[in-house]
Chains A and B, each alone.
Chain A
Amino acid sequence: MRSSVLLMFVFIFTICVCKASVRAESSPVSLGQPTEIPQEEKTPVINKANEDGELKHTVSAQQPDNTRKEDTTPANTTQADEELQHDDVESEPPLIKDPLQPYNRAIFTFNDKTYHYFVKPIYTGYNSMVPEKARVSVKNFFTNIKMPVRFFNCLFQGKLKGAGTELARFVINSTVGVAGLFDPAKSKFHLERHERDFGQTLAKHKMNSGIYIVWPFLGPSTVRDTVGLVGDAALNPLSWISYFFLTPLEGFGNYSYDAVNDFSIDKGQTYENITEPAIDPYIALQDSYIQNRGKKTKE
C-alpha cells in the first residue's frame, strides 16, 4: 500500500516537472528577449529619429504598443514610462521615409493589378489541381533547399544555437523527411525553423533601413532590405543551380514556381488581408511591412 502511494507520488512529480519544462519552453519569448535586443535599439536615437522609421519606434514618447513588451522589462521601467507607453494615444505614427512615393504608388498599383489579374488566377487554378498536402510538401522542399540562407545569416547574426538547429533540421529533413518533402524536424523533434535573412544581418550591424522602395513583382522593401535580397539570393542554392546548370528562363521558372506555391499556401491571403480592409492600401501595406520588419530585426 505504502509503496504504491510512493510510486504514485513519483509519477505525479515527474508529470509536474514535465509540464513545467514544457511551459518554460513554450515561452522563451519573454525570457530571452531583453538580452537579445540589437545594439541599435539601445542607443539614444532622438536625433536620428526622423531619418529612420524603425528607429523612431523606440523613442519612448512615440512608442507603439507592439514594441513595448519587447524592449522593456517590468523591472526597469518607471511609472512614468509605463504611462507613456500605454497612453500613446496622441503620439504620431512613426514617420517612414518615402520620398519616392509617386513612383512607389505607381509600382504598387502595377503589382496590385498583377496580383489580382495574373498571380491570383494562376495560383487559384494551381490550387484546384494540386491538393494542399502536395503544396505543403513543395513548400517544405524549397524551404529545405534554402537552408544556407538561414544557416549563414544565423552565423552572421551570432546566433550559434540557431545555426546549429538549422543544420540539424537540414540533416533530419533531407534524410528522414525524404529530401525535404516533409518536416519531421519540426513535427517529431520540435526543432523550429529560424527565419533569418540578410536584411536582418545588416540591421544587426547597424545599417539604417533607408528609404522605402516598392519593386515591381517583389513588392515592398527598403534600401537595406534590397541589399538584403541580393545577399540572400547569393546564399540561395536555387540561384547557384540556376547559374551553373539552367538557362535563365528555367532559373526564372524555378523562382516563379516557388513564389506561386508560396502564394497558394497563405501569402495571397496575407496580402489580401492587409490591403482589402484598408482605406489607403498603399499606406497599409507600407506600414505593415515596416512594422513587421521592425519586429523581425528585433528578434
Chain B
Amino acid sequence: MKYRKITSAICIGVFSLTCMPPLLWAGEPGKLLMETIDKGFAILKDPSLKGDEKVQERRQMLWKEISPVFNFEEMSKRSLGQHWKSRTPEEKKEFVELFTNILKDAYIGKTDTYSGEKVVIISEKQDKNYATVQTRFITNTGTEISVDYNMHNNPGRWTIYDVIIEGVSLVNNYRSQFNNILIKSSYKELIQKIKAKQSKEETSTK
C-alpha cells in the first residue's frame, strides 16, 4: 500500500515536471512579456470583439492591456538621445505624450488584420536590471520574423524600452530621424512635424 503511494507520488511529480510549459524556464521579464502577448491575442481572438464596427472598442482594450508593459518615457528619452537633457520638464512631458501617440497610432492599427499569427519565445538574457527577450513572430505564410524586446527593471517592474525587429531597433530608428531633423532645424520644428503627422493620421482614419 505504502509502496503504491510512493510510486504514484513520484509519477505525478515527474509527470508535472516533464509537462511543464516552456514558460517555466523563462525568467520574470520573459514571462511578463509572453503573458502580455497572450492577453493581447486573447482580445484579438475574442469573437465578441470581432468585426469592423468593434474596431475602436477592441483597440482600446488592447491598448489597456499592452501599454503598461511599455516604458514610453524611457523610449522617448532614448529616441531624443542627447537632445533630451536640454528640454524643460514641460517639453519632456509633451514629447512623451506625442511619442506615445505616434507609436500607438502606428502599431495598434496593425492589429486589425490579425489572422492567427503566432509568437514564440526563443531565449532570454538577463543581467541585473536589464534583459533581452528574443522572440519569433510567425506569420500565416510561415515567415519568421525575429523580434527582440529590451527590458529594464525599474523598481520592481519590468518594462520594455526598445523593440528590435530583424535587427532594426525602433528607438534607434526614431533617434536617427529626430537627430536628422534637429541637426538642420530647431526642436520647435520637430514638434511641429510630429503634430502635423498626427493630425494627418487622424483625418485619414476618420
Let me know if B84 and A89 touch, CB within 8 A: yes
* Given A29-B123, A266-B139, A287-B173, A276-B106 contact (CB < 8 Å): yes
Q: Whole-angstrom distance from the CB of A204 to the nearest CB of chain B?
A: 17
* Given A15-B18, A66-B167, A92-B82, A277-B175 contact (CB < 8 Å): no
Let me know if A273 and B132 touch, CB within 8 A: no
Cβ of A82: which chain B residues have Cβ within 8 Å of it? Answer: 127-128, 130
Let me know if A265 and B143 touch, CB within 8 A: yes
Number of A-B contacts (CB under 8 A): 132
Chain A residues numbered 95-154 whose CB sits less than 8 Å from any CB in chain B: 96, 132, 135-136, 139
Cβ of B159: which chain A residues have Cβ within 8 Å of it? Answer: none
Q: DSSP class of A's interface residues: helix, strand, loop or mixed?
A: helix
Binding stretch for chain A, among B29-37, B47-55, B64-72, B177-185: B177-185
Partner of A295, one of B3, B167, B179: B167
A250 within 8 Å of B (CB atoms): no
Partner of B130, one of A23, A86, A96, A283: A86
Partner-B contacts on A (CB < 8 A): 1, 5, 8-9, 12, 15-16, 19, 23, 26-27, 29-30, 64-66, 68-69, 74, 82, 86, 88-93, 96, 132, 135-136, 139, 183, 186, 265-266, 273-274, 276-280, 283-284, 286-288, 291-292, 294-296
Partner-A contacts on B (CB < 8 A): 3, 7, 10-11, 14-15, 18, 25, 77-78, 81-82, 84-85, 102-103, 105-107, 110, 122-123, 125, 127-128, 130, 132, 134, 139-143, 148, 150, 152, 162, 164, 166-169, 171-181, 190, 193-194, 197
The list of the 4 closest CB pairs from A to B, nearest first, reads A295-B167, A277-B106, A287-B176, A27-B123
